[in-house]
Structure 1
């Protein structure tokens, strides 16, 4: 995504971001651009060139070179003949993230059993800014199934899990989520109504809100303080989510969610 070029001003021996380097969300643009570059690395694209980064981000080549050099100096990128690969420092961070976010074996077993009994994909989502992040998944045993990768970020403006996760959001956060949707700020009232309905009902469902032909049902998982800290969902093709099945899915999800709440979560879910 093109964001223009960073200009760093020198002031004595210390460099600080000026107002022109601050993004809409309050973050620093140069930092965001660095993460945008890292985000270009995927399983299908394990190496990227300077030219590919320029085309993908729309940034000036000189800006890209400076950012890449900084990332390389900090071990976040590694230069090879094929291009820039993920650097060794990311391996240390990945190990830390896995140890922090990996769920206990008994929790995984509960999710695995739910997927096997209901034959749809089970996901556990948490909020990160205006996104919901998949932190655990058990795939449906059926050939036609809905699958996201652990770590994937999905938008909060749509989907059953979003309606569950947004129940604790304040007006400012909801406004940002609405603005991120294809409908813009006009989506705010509809979003509030959907969240209120899901909160009163105790569960949420969605049909084709984010992807045509995809449906989901979600319930909250509560922390020790009684706050919803995650959303547990079943998702799959809409054709397999008629009203009677949704009722069955809700009952199964609530049962498993209750067990998860009783067992509690290790850090970072501890509330």
Structure 2
């Protein structure tokens, strides 16, 4: 990423550059799943250290970032409050976690819940690993492409029109985002047909046989419908259809 001087001017339609950069820092800390030094932050964000120090000072005052005694930076208590408020506002954990557990208990691949995270990415909000000995490498908090994989394409398909979208209820992918992994995903809707996110089952590609995909798709749709109704949404009436994508 090219390094440019700090620009705090307002750009019509695009927001404030300083705010965008501050959020880039917070996002980098969230995705790192670890504390970072100033040099590490400069490397992952592409910003000058002098720019980072000014923005970090503001983030520290807000409690979104803390500067530890070992000179490393980490997310602060305000980040926890944001996350808790988000969860409480939508009631997602209470509506989603039970169906993720139900899926894994019924022998599926690892179950996740993904939400849109910017224009080009999605965020794994919840994750429960399967009982299989080998797993795909996705964790809560991971940011993945929005245009690749079953979960991303399902989010894109239902993002604008929600439950009224004439699209398949199950999206599948085989080696698309990761050449060694397969996935299946189904949307979850809230009140007024709003897309809340997608349930995703993912794991090693060799376990995504035709029979396994058919079985998991049925379980996935049942789970997505259950989650939708528990979160105040109405499940679409169309028949089960699969959107298949191979690398």
Structure 2 gaps of 5+ residues are 234-247
Partner of 1:34: 22
TM-score (norm 1): 0.71
Summarize the Cα distance change of 1:227–1:142 in structure 2 as closer, same or farther, 3 Å threshold: same
Cα distance in 2, alignment partners of residues 263 and 209 from structure 1: 31
Partner secondary structure for residue 144 of structure 2:
strand
Q: Say whether residues 1:162 and 2:152 are aligned partners.
A: yes
Cα distance in 2, alignment partners of residues 168 and 105 from structure 1: 22
Cα distance in 2, alignment partners of residues 93 and 144 from structure 1: 34
Partner of 2:243: none
Structure 1 gaps of 5+ residues are 9-16, 171-197, 267-271
CA RMSD of aligned residues (A): 2.9
Q: Say whether residues 1:112 and 2:91 are aligned partners.
A: no
Which of 248, 253, 260 does residue 215 from structure 2 map onto?
248
Which of 42, 54, 77 does residue 66 from structure 1 map onto?
54
Task: Report the Cα offset of residue 147 of structure 1.
Answer: 4.4
Summarize the Cα distance change of 1:18–1:212 in structure 2 as closer, same or farther, 3 Å threshold: same
Q: Is the 8 A contact 1:208 1:214 kept in 2?
A: yes
Partner of 1:211: 178
Partner secondary structure for residue 166 of structure 1:
helix
Q: Tell which structure's C-alpha radius of gyration is larger.
A: 1
Q: Say whether residues 1:5 and 2:2 are aligned partners.
A: no
Cα distance in 1, alignment partners of residues 96 and 69 from structure 2: 43
Cα distance in 1, alignment partners of residues 66 and 77 from structure 2: 8
**Deviation by residue 1:207-245 (Cα, 9 ceiling, x = unmatched):** 111111110011222334345432222111110001121
Task: Report the Cα offset of residue 37 of structure 1.
Answer: 2.2
Q: How does 1:161-240 map to 2 (within 5 A)?
A: 161-169=151-159, 200-240=167-207
